A and B are shown apart, each in its own frame.
Chain A
Amino acid sequence: MDLRYSDTDEKFRSELRAWLADAVPGHGDPPPTHDWPSRRAYDTGWQRKLFDAGYAGINWPKAYGGREATLTEQLVYYEEIARARAPYIGVNFVGMLHGGPTLITEGNDLQKSSHVPRILKGEEVWCQGFSEPAAGSDLANVQSRAVRDGDVYRVSGHKIWTSFAQVADYCELLVRTDPNAPKHRGISWLIMPMDLPGIDIRPLPTLMGEGEFSEVFLEDVPIPVENRVGDENDGWRVTNVTLRFERGTAFASEMYQLQQFLAQLVGVAKRVTRHDAAAWDDRALRREVGHLQAELDALWAMVKLSVSETAKTGMPGIGASAIKLFYTELYQRVCELGMRVLGRAALAREDVGDLPSREVLYRALQSLSLTIAAGTSQIQRNIISERILGLPREPR
């Protein structure tokens, strides 16, 4: 039960902190959220800087250009990235956290050499083509049909919640290659170049008004058979490899950053006036802040415990679902507190006066997606009650 980072970890921390102290201000402010070409340039530019400094792919194997940092160094990395308010992974998310790691694990040599180094350097952007209108929580119900035609699959279907489709070069695509097999056994995992004919991208505005999602309509899109990752009809297993990378420590920086966000809200509460007193004089508000801080600290301790288990056993702990559920619901509570602190300034999505309405509202609205994406809170509760407690399973 040792929480002390090693000297090696601390040396890594001080080097990284020194680098971030120059690199983060040097990268400038992020572009407007609707300006996708600029966002791609900003996010991939940051990825390139990480790569040049030796910090790209912190958890990727050295053989693929990654840092292959120990798990405790990764935690240090996420703490420092959060502390420095470094640019978010942004458009690199799918490539760095889904596509790249999946290719490293499941791809053939050609697939690896054509994509992995380019993803790592920020030269290639990926999007996610998993969900469909009828395949949400029940992801294995994908209906997009892939029919073999010589050297290509001809794919037709309708994808939804496709992140970063507007700026992506490639799409990780789940398709049905055998409509007669049981639903988990007829799926294949394909790399779809986004410049193929037959791809129609329609932005899907979220409740934030814009966002990273699109609907993607596929009509007879010819995807080379050599772009299949894993065997035909073995895509569900590959998909589970992909989704495993999304859990683990992928959101560690965001978790750590919530502590800073809470402290920032305290600063706001001290300078706004409500009922002839500072908002901070409201004891109920202070009590909620203290409560949230205790829970955020508990969350970070859970991450440390989970990382320690993974470091020794090589297996992510069974607690990943508990962490995801706890984190996302906690995030929403912190954001609601932020809205209450702002009062009527929360009617604005740009800063008003000296109040950070832009950030608070951005987080508050975006946080509504967290309990839905990557396994809804209800699915997480099913997983916990079935895999941890051994209660009877839901239909699949």
Chain B
Amino acid sequence: MDFRVTEDQQALQEGIRTFCEGRVAIEQLRELEGSGGFDADLWKELAEMGVFGLRLPESAGGVGLGNAEAVLVFEELGRALVPGPVVWSHLAAGLVDGAADGSTVVGGLDLCDAASGPHLVEHLDRLDALLVLRADRVSRIDPKSLHGKPVDPPLDPLTPVHALVVIPEGETIGDAALSERLRLEGAALAAGSLLGIAEQSQALATAYAKQREQFDRVIGSFQAVKHILADCVVRQEAARAAVYAAGATLDDPGVGDVERAVRGAKLVAGEAAWKNARASIQVHGGMGYTWEVAVHYYLKRAWVLESVFGSVEEHADALAERLASAA
């Protein structure tokens, strides 16, 4: 057992991070706000870097890596708030032609929790295919056949949504087992991004606390502020361990209970993301309440990711059921 991130994994993660810092900096994100949060050129570049085909075998044109690497990549996409249906297009690689190379933009809708409508579909205008997960099947729908009502404004300025009352059956492309697998993998990837959000929210707040002065001292010298930030570190480190364990367990199910590891990771990372983002707004004080300071984007994206592939509540209930049936 060596649970550390390997050198190769670290190099992969740093590569994605460097790319995002140069290509998806906060100024560039602000520009995308006006155009629905989607950048076709960025999408091609992400595809070229192997973000979507990461876990596809090399024989099928992919990178041939595993879930452990995928959660690291999605940690960086979360940290940079990379917009677009990145999780769904990654999941669709190998299922939908063109998903891996970015030529087909695939979005998705998770209906496994059987929530009542209207259903909010992300990035509908930009999609070439829509995957729908139901408890008993996976289906594919042509987005052009959907007539949703655009929501203006959406919660996350970089995640536009359309409201649909009815979701058609579509073409069935997989069974319950595939649906369950995609949902678990999706939960792990979303958890990776939530971890990135938790870390960046903390980092922004810490940087601000080191330079903002009140009462002739930086506010980061007050224990009231230091302890908020220390709690952010604890949440982020718990989320990191849980998310990496989920990736490693998906790749090697012999080391643990896959469902327990993934559900736990999504729960802990989800909570870390929104709590750290909320703490970050608080530490930023009045500025944290403005549109100009970027922390609100993190909180909003955390809510977007929290709502898919199972909420904190769903995973907590499911974990409790599993524990009870084993007891």
Q: How many residues of chain A get a CB closer than 8 Å to chain B's CBs?
A: 55
Interface size grouping (class) on chain B: 35 or more
| Per-residue interface assignment for chain B, residues 205 to 223, with 1 indicating a CB less than 8 Å from any chain A CB and 0 otherwise | 0100110000001101101
Q: Is B316 engaged at the interface, CB distance under 8 Å to the other chain?
A: yes
Asked whether B237 lies within 8 Å of A3 as measured between CB atoms, the reply is no
Provide the residues of chain B in CB contact with A267, threshold 8 Å. Answer: 327
A380, B316: Cα distance in complex, Å: 28
CB distance from A388 to the nearest CB of B (A): 6
Asked whether A4 lies within 8 Å of B254 as measured between CB atoms, the reply is yes
Provide the residues of chain B in CB contact with A270, threshold 8 Å. Answer: 324, 327
If A1-B247, A3-B1 touch, whether A287 touches B320 (CB-CB below 8 Å) is yes
Provide the residues of chain A in CB contact with B248, threshold 8 Å. Answer: 1-3
Provide the residues of chain A in CB contact with B68, threshold 8 Å. Answer: 1
Provide the residues of chain A in CB contact with B6, threshold 8 Å. Answer: 1
Provide the residues of chain B in CB contact with A374, threshold 8 Å. Answer: none
User: Which residues of A327-383 have CB atoms within 8 Å of chain B's CB atoms?
Assistant: 378, 380-382
Asked whether B239 lies within 8 Å of A298 as measured between CB atoms, the reply is yes
Provide the residues of chain A in CB contact with B247, threshold 8 Å. Answer: 1
Residue in contact with A3 in the complex, picked from B209, B249, B267, CB distance below 8 Å: B249
CB distance from B216 to the nearest CB of A (A): 13
At the interface, is chain A mostly helix, strand, loop or mixed?
helix
Closest residue of chain A to B319 (Cβ to Cβ) is A290
Q: Is B9 engaged at the interface, CB distance under 8 Å to the other chain?
A: yes
Provide the residues of chain B in CB contact with A319, threshold 8 Å. Answer: 237
Provide the residues of chain B in CB contact with A120, threshold 8 Å. Answer: none
Q: Is A254 engaged at the interface, CB distance under 8 Å to the other chain?
A: no
Provide the residues of chain A in CB contact with B324, threshold 8 Å. Answer: 266, 270, 280, 286
Q: Is A18 engaged at the interface, CB distance under 8 Å to the other chain?
A: no
Asked whether B241 lies within 8 Å of A302 as measured between CB atoms, the reply is yes
Among A44-52, A171-179, A198-206, A308-316, the stretch in contact with B: A308-316
If A280-B324, A291-B316 touch, whether A1 touches B237 (CB-CB below 8 Å) is no
Q: Is A16 engaged at the interface, CB distance under 8 Å to the other chain?
A: no
Q: Is A326 engaged at the interface, CB distance under 8 Å to the other chain?
A: yes
At the interface, is chain B mostly helix, strand, loop or mixed?
helix
Q: Which of B312, B319, B320 has the most CB of A within 10 A?
A: B320
Asked whether B227 lies within 8 Å of A3 as measured between CB atoms, the reply is no
Q: Which of B223, B239, B319 has the most CB of A within 10 A?
A: B319
Q: Is B58 engaged at the interface, CB distance under 8 Å to the other chain?
A: no
A263, B252: Cα distance in complex, Å: 25
CB distance from A39 to the nearest CB of B (A): 31
Q: Is B5 engaged at the interface, CB distance under 8 Å to the other chain?
A: yes
Closest residue of chain A to B325 (Cβ to Cβ) is A266
CB distance from A369 to the nearest CB of B (A): 20
Asked whether A286 lies within 8 Å of B320 as measured between CB atoms, the reply is yes
A390, B247: Cα distance in complex, Å: 30
Q: Is A283 engaged at the interface, CB distance under 8 Å to the other chain?
A: yes
Q: Is B255 engaged at the interface, CB distance under 8 Å to the other chain?
A: yes
Provide the residues of chain A in CB contact with B240, threshold 8 Å. Answer: 305
Q: Is A262 engaged at the interface, CB distance under 8 Å to the other chain?
A: yes
Asked whether B218 lies within 8 Å of A385 as measured between CB atoms, the reply is no
Q: Is B115 engaged at the interface, CB distance under 8 Å to the other chain?
A: no
Asked whether A293 lies within 8 Å of B319 as measured between CB atoms, the reply is yes
Closest residue of chain A to B312 (Cβ to Cβ) is A291
A322, B240: Cα distance in complex, Å: 12
| Per-residue interface assignment for chain B, residues 251 to 286, with 1 indicating a CB less than 8 Å from any chain A CB and 0 otherwise | 010111000110111011000000000000000000
Asked whether B1 lies within 8 Å of A2 as measured between CB atoms, the reply is yes
Asked whether B218 lies within 8 Å of A392 as measured between CB atoms, the reply is yes
Asked whether B1 lies within 8 Å of A294 as measured between CB atoms, the reply is no
Provide the residues of chain A in CB contact with B267, threshold 8 Å. Answer: 290-291, 294
Q: Is A196 engaged at the interface, CB distance under 8 Å to the other chain?
A: no
Q: Is A389 engaged at the interface, CB distance under 8 Å to the other chain?
A: yes
A307, B241: Cα distance in complex, Å: 12
Closest residue of chain A to B269 (Cβ to Cβ) is A298
CB distance from A22 to the nearest CB of B (A): 26
Asked whether B320 lies within 8 Å of A380 as measured between CB atoms, the reply is no
Provide the residues of chain A in CB contact with B221, threshold 8 Å. Answer: 391-392
Closest residue of chain B to A71 (Cβ to Cβ) is B1
Provide the residues of chain B in CB contact with A291, threshold 8 Å. Answer: 267, 312, 316, 319
Provide the residues of chain A in CB contact with B5, threshold 8 Å. Answer: 1
Asked whether A3 lies within 8 Å of B323 as measured between CB atoms, the reply is no
Closest residue of chain B to A302 (Cβ to Cβ) is B241
Measured CB to CB, the residues of A under 8 A from B are 1-6, 9, 72, 75, 262-264, 266-267, 270, 280, 283, 286-291, 293-295, 297-299, 301-302, 304-305, 307-309, 311-312, 319, 322, 325-326, 378, 380-382, 384-386, 388-392, 394
Task: Identify 12 residue pairs between A and B in the complex whose beta-carbon atoms are under 8 Å apart, listed by A's number.
Answer: A1-B4, A3-B252, A287-B317, A294-B242, A294-B268, A297-B264, A298-B238, A298-B268, A322-B234, A322-B237, A380-B230, A382-B230
Q: A305-B241, A389-B220, A391-B206 are in contact. List 18 more A-B contacts (CB 8 A).
A: A3-B252, A4-B255, A280-B324, A286-B321, A287-B320, A293-B319, A293-B320, A294-B264, A294-B268, A298-B264, A298-B268, A301-B242, A304-B1, A326-B238, A381-B230, A381-B231, A390-B206, A391-B209
Measured CB to CB, the residues of B under 8 A from A are 1-6, 9, 68, 206, 209-210, 217-218, 220-221, 223, 226-227, 229-231, 233-234, 237-242, 244-245, 247-249, 252, 254-256, 260-261, 263-265, 267-268, 312-313, 315-321, 323-324, 326-327
Across the A-B interface, the 9 shortest Cβ-Cβ residue pairs = A290-B316, A301-B241, A290-B320, A290-B319, A294-B264, A385-B226, A381-B230, A392-B221, A298-B242
